[in-house]
Amino acid sequence: MATKLTTNEKIVNKLIDSIEKTEKLPWHAGWVSGGLPMNFTTGKHYNGINILMLWCGGFTHSKFATYKQIEAKGGQVKKGEKGTPVIYYNVSEKLAKDKETEEEKVKRIPFAKLSYAFNISQTEGIMEEAIETGEHVTAEQFIRSIPAKIIHGYDPCYVPKSDEIRIPLRSDVETEERYYSVLFHELIHWTGAEGRMNRDLTLYHENMDKHSFEELVAEIGSAFLLAEFGMKPCEEQNAAYVKGWAEKINADKSMVVKAASQASKAVEYLLNLSNISF
């Protein structure tokens, strides 16, 4: 008898399938213009693993909606188009006895379910305004508004002991996108420190599992920030790099779901910390 897959396992299997087909990682493939993926009916951004799923389609538009939402807008999905699976969470209620009082109380149990989202480019009959991509100056203003200690002239790293970010001089980095990619990566590490998001970086350089997880959070978080400011990810993805991450994700299917969730939270923390109006 086959083991029934959880919702998260179904999602991650599709990510792994995408990696194998495209030979690219989902946080660098299928870059979407216009910022992070958004539901164009509710105006809410998707987060966590859902962003990676929606990026896998390689769409050039950042807005998505469900089949019913598209119909409600007076549009329709083009013939033959398939939706992208995304996770949403619901809550079930059941009566359960309290261990201490023996009284029956309503217990709320969260559970994950799959839904399907269609990109605006997969629809007909919906007029959509043009999307303006972010400009680099906005990213620079954002960086200046974050109270992190940033020192230029070093190989890129975050040093927990001194709580400082070290990065190369801008003139030593080949492109602006590459510079911001490196800086955003280290800035995501910075959010994990004690007193901020408390991701426990104490064993970051000693424990390989913790190191891999934190690196994945920073990789994904950096890609999220690049998209927020309208810049393409610029990491070169050689075969060994892609294979290495694919093997780690396949070995622990909860890893990428948890890392994407932490990356979203880190990005939200930074955006809230900034005094820039987005």
Set out the domains of the chain in order of their start, with CATH numbers. 136-273 (1.10.10)
Percent of the chain whose pLDDT exceeds 70: 84
Backbone angles phi, psi at 203, to 5 degrees: -105, 15
Q: Which of 88-102, 123-137, 163-177 has the lowest mean pLDDT?
A: 123-137
Compute CA 220 distance to the chain's CA centroid, rounded to the nearest angstrom. 5
Handedness of CA 225, 228, 233, 234 (dihedral sign): negative
pTM: 0.83
Compute CA 256 distance to the chain's CA centroid, rounded to the nearest angstrom. 10
- Quickly state the pLDDT bin for 134 (edges 50, 70, 90): very low
Compute CA 125 distance to the chain's CA centroid, rounded to the nearest angstrom. 30
pLDDT in tens, 249-268: 888 888 899 999 999 999 99
Residue-wise over 144-168: b if at least 16 C-beta within 10 A, else e?
eebebeeeeeeebebebeeebbbbb
Any bridge partners for residue 114, and if so which? 87
Full DSSP string of 223-268: HHHHHHTT--------HHHHHHHHHHHHH-HHHHHHHHHHHHHHHH
Q: Which two tokens stand for residue 246?
A: 């694919």
Q: Which of 33-47, 97-111, 170-184, 193-207 has the highest mean pLDDT?
A: 170-184
What does the DSSP 8-state code read for residue 20?
A: H
What does the DSSP 8-state code read for residue 122?
A: G
Pairing relationship of beta strands 38-39 and 63-65 according to DSSP bridges = parallel
Give the pLDDT confidence score for residue 133 in this predicted structure.
46
- Quickly state the pLDDT bin for 141 (edges 50, 70, 90): confident
Nearest Cα residue to 39 out of 156, 117, 122, 155? 117
Give the pLDDT confidence score for residue 157 in this predicted structure.
93
Give the pLDDT confidence score for residue 131 in this predicted structure.
47
246 or 94, greater pLDDT: 246
Return mean pLDDT, the chain.
83
Pairing relationship of beta strands 123-124 and 76-77 according to DSSP bridges = antiparallel
- pLDDT of residue 169 exceeding 80, the answer is yes
Segment 193-200 shows an average pLDDT of 89
The Cα–Cα gap between 145 and 138 comes to 11
- pLDDT of residue 233 exceeding 80, the answer is no
- pLDDT of residue 130 exceeding 50, the answer is no
Segment 58-77 shows an average pLDDT of 90
Give the pLDDT confidence score for residue 116 in this predicted structure.
94
Nearest Cα residue to 258 out of 202, 199, 203, 201? 199
